[in-house]
Structure 1
Amino acid sequence: MAKSKHYYIRKAHRYLGLILGIQFLLWTIGGLYFSWSNMDEVHGDFQKKPEPLLPANLPLVSPTVALNNIREIAGIDSLTSIQLIQILGKPYYQIRSMGATGNNHSHDHSGHQKIFLVNAETGQLRPALSEHEAVAVAKLRFNGNPKVAAVEYLTTTSRHHEYRESPLPAYAITFEHPSATTVYVASEWGTVQKFRNNKWRTFDLLWMLHTMDYESRDNISNILLRVFSVFGLVTVISGFVLYAISSKTLKNGFKKQGRLAINKVKIL
């Protein structure tokens, strides 16, 4: 005996609902967490001290002096930027360039840009931050005075690491704090790059489950998300159709309208 379309719609709706139910639950949990979270806390802004300012009367050398000293040891094809920063109270030029070679530079995550740190008072290049200096830099930027729990030197990161796609090498300084905050200091940039705490880690996990991008987190056009979105639409539509063909109220309404139409025809 041939099965009715009612049977097949119910079957499709049941299995689609089973497959999609877990993902719908994850989307709902993620949406609740995102909407109820304070993004300043997620980003760790409440833990960050403002960047210390340099006095305006510093006897700075011209950036040209710094560039000339760089050219003595490395070739520079082009400049990306020259920025005045401070490292432990002293001014430095952070010079970003392309196509340089030498020992006193670093690669960012793109693999092309090089970074030079030059003393802005003397014009002399300085090496990358030591572990002791990186810890001191992290402490100066962290609000409060917690103890250091662990220090890790990173030269590579996976696509799932909380410091992914950020300048390397870097020191990961984790503090003894209820939020388990880790401050990442790029050793050859001389600056703090990221604050990561437990709220951010929870957000990141739920965001991955929400976007269904299990590689880079932020690709909201991935195939898996598109497929589940289409399946979700089909599930909802099949539910409406299933209700329409199984509802006694709708059936009685259609029958009543049919009788009225027949009576009108007979009268005419």
Structure 2
Amino acid sequence: MANKSVVARTIHKWLALIVGVQALLWFISGAYMTIVPLEIIHGDHLEHAHSDPLKFSSAGRANAIKAMAQHFPDAKSVEFSTLDGHAVVRAVGGSQSGVIDLESGKVLTPIGRDMATRIASAAYTGSGKAVSTDWITKAPQEVATRPVPLWAVRFDDMGRTTFYVSPSTGKVVARRHTLWRIFDFVWMLHIMDYESRTDVHNPLLRIAIVMSLLMALSGIWLLLYSFHKRATK
């Protein structure tokens, strides 16, 4: 029994040493993800939730329908909205997406740098100002799941906010700021996926979980052994 206790104590000690650092990272990352509201992480407070009422004539609608059939014949659905002060219809799905001015029938996409800046600035509710607008053809880690190209509109606020605008739809497809970037980092530590930061079934995490279980079981065994040893004295 004594030899078994030595083996269990050795296993427990080394597992605690190896897994202990990760356990601390699980605690810290879990605490951050619990304390900071998800709405703030998503940046809901940084973008207007409302849209302006649509104003367009029947002639404008006819122009838009004609242009839609010409430029986006395989669109799966359409959305009526406003874009940079224009009443527009947005083609969704199909081989490509695009936006058409409801009055003129003109295709407004792909949008340029100036329009992307105006769209992001109009949607932004923070205290900063747009300081740069960059054309992104290779998605950075913080928007790795978004299709490129994108316009990255950066603001000079404390959170280093960036709005990513789709050139094909004119929509703000992602909002990134310091608290989101911290969340993304601690999420990486939490799930132990140091590449894509999305795989919660990766081998490294599974190994850490098994080691943690073994550490717990060896600790329980040592606790029961100590009680048994005291009882037999």
3-state SS of the aligned residue for 1:171? Answer: strand
2:197 is aligned to 217
Unaligned runs of 5+ in 1: 101-113, 257-268
Q: How does 1:66-81 map to 2 (within 5 A)?
A: 66-70=67-71, 76=73, 78-81=74-77
2:224 is aligned to 244
1:202 is aligned to 182
> Match of 2:66, as an amino acid?
V
Is the contact between residue 61 and residue 122 of structure 1 (CA under 8 Å) also seen in structure 2?
A: no
Q: Distance in 1 between matches of 2:115 and 2:230?
A: 80
- Which structure is larger by alpha-carbon Rg, 1 or 2? 1
Q: Distance in 2 between matches of 1:27 and 1:144?
A: 32
1:103 is aligned to none
Number of aligned residue pairs: 230
1:183 equivalent to 2:179? Answer no
Residues 52 and 58 of structure 1, relative CA distance in 2, 3 Å threshold: farther
Q: Cα distance, 1:151 vs. partner?
A: 2.3
Is the contact between residue 56 and residue 87 of structure 2 (CA under 8 Å) also seen in structure 1?
A: no
Q: Distance in 1 between matches of 2:124 and 2:66?
A: 33
Q: Cα distance, 1:162 vs. partner?
A: 0.7
Q: How does 1:247-262 map to 2 (within 5 A)?
A: 247=226, 249-253=227-231, 255=232
3-state SS of the aligned residue for 1:27? Answer: helix
1:61 equivalent to 2:61? Answer yes
**Further displaced range: 41-50 or 193-202:** 41-50
Deviations 1:195-250 (A, max 9, x none): 111000001110111111223223212221111111101100001112222x2x43
Q: Cα distance, 1:36 vs. partner?
A: 0.9
Residues 58 and 49 of structure 1, relative CA distance in 2, 3 Å threshold: farther
Identity of aligned residues (%): 28
Q: Cα distance, 1:10 vs. partner?
A: 1.4
3-state SS of the aligned residue for 1:224? Answer: helix
Residues 169 and 216 of structure 1, relative CA distance in 2, 3 Å threshold: same
Q: Distance in 2 between matches of 1:243 and 1:91?
A: 71
Q: Distance in 2 between matches of 1:22 and 1:58?
A: 65
Residues 164 and 51 of structure 1, relative CA distance in 2, 3 Å threshold: farther
Residues 223 and 162 of structure 1, relative CA distance in 2, 3 Å threshold: same
1:147 is aligned to 129
Q: Distance in 1 between matches of 2:207 and 2:4?
A: 24
Scaled by the length of structure 1, the TM-score of the pair is 0.78
1:233 is aligned to 213
> Match of 1:151, as an amino acid?
T
1:87 equivalent to 2:65? Answer no
Q: Cα distance, 1:118 vs. partner?
A: 1.8
2:120 is aligned to 138
Q: Distance in 2 between matches of 1:58 and 1:209?
A: 54
Say which structure is richer in helix. Answer: 2
Q: Cα distance, 1:15 vs. partner?
A: 1.1
> Match of 2:25, as an amino acid?
L
3-state SS of the aligned residue for 1:149? Answer: strand
1:97 is aligned to 93
Higher RCO, 1 or 2 (CA under 8 Å, sep at least 6)?
2
Q: Distance in 2 between matches of 1:58 and 1:13?
A: 76
Unaligned runs of 5+ in 2: none
